[in-house]
Amino acid sequence: MTKTFMMVLGLITALILTSGVDAADRLKLSSTTSTDNTGLLAYLLPKFTEKTGLRVDVIAVGTGKALTLAENGDVDVTLVHAPARERAFIEAEFGVNHRTVMANAFIIVGPQADQAGVAQAVSAEAAFERIAQSRVPFVSRGDDSGTHTKEQAIWKTVLGVVPYGKRWYLESGKGMGETLTLADEKRGYTLCDSGTYLKYSDKVDLKTLFRRQSDLLYNPYGIIAVNPARHPHVNYLGAMQLIGFMTSPEGQKLIGDFKDKLGNQLFEPLAVPRG
């Protein structure tokens, strides 16, 4: 073999070894925009990296896209909030070791004037019905996210269909923060997770108009490792380390301690029973 060939071969071998080590030190996480917009991941993940040495690359999208990335093996682990879709994901054997991590609530926010009288509604369905009757703008996420999935389910209960094509029904096609901004501009309503609203409440004039303790508006988040039997290349051990951290007493305390600047708790930890 020539000296040049040996040098090239050595370089290729070094690159392969280096990339393998780097891959083992990194973890790809698909998650919802709410965990990103609230700042929760920016708060938690550096602590995880400090503890384990694993750096986490976050892809923040709607739940539907987050699960698709996991199905395709483009990430190692996913953190989403749509229980029915999570169950389907597990049953199709795309994911393993599902754990419920935390929860917040869905709320309906809108303008102070509340032309639709949402604040007087006795249920979320009644609130949506008032919005439809008043024809005040409603801004949907329209992005196949967990919030969008919940909103569609409520519309189907109220109207039998999602009101696509109605002049008052708008779709942002974006994350929760941008959707709140558009609803504010249109002086309309939207369905939002409570954590993101608390984070953005000082940036918009929208008010919490409907918030009730009910199963319908309960918003749990689950973390799932991508099934290594389907995608052998995934960093399964790293995924399990992240799941372990998020559901450990330490991780759960960090989640419970995470608050906005006014001291409001953004997520309720669920993995460790409270004493």
Least confident span in 14-18, 120-124, 202-206, 227-231: 14-18
Residue 67: per-residue pLDDT: 97
Q: What is the pLDDT of residues 129-144, one digit of tens each?
A: 999 999 999 999 999 9
The identity of residue 178, as a single letter, is E
Domains and CATH numbers, the chain: 3-103+220-269 (3.40.190.10), 105-210 (3.40.190.10)
Q: What is the pLDDT of residues 62-85, one digit of tens each?
A: 999 999 999 999 999 999 999 999
What's the predicted TM-score (pTM) here?
0.85
Tokens 């998020």 belong to 246
Other Cβ atoms less than 10 A from the Cβ of 23: the count is 15
Task: Determine what percent of the chain is predicted with pLDDT higher than 70.
Answer: 91
Per the prediction, the chain carries an average pLDDT of: 91
Beta strand 95-110 with 207-210 is: antiparallel
Which is more confidently placed, 268 or 4?
268
Residue 22: per-residue pLDDT: 53
Residue 5: per-residue pLDDT: 38
Residue 21: per-residue pLDDT: 39
Shortest CA distance to 116 belongs to which of 166, 189, 168?
189
6 vs 180: CA distance, rounded Å: 59
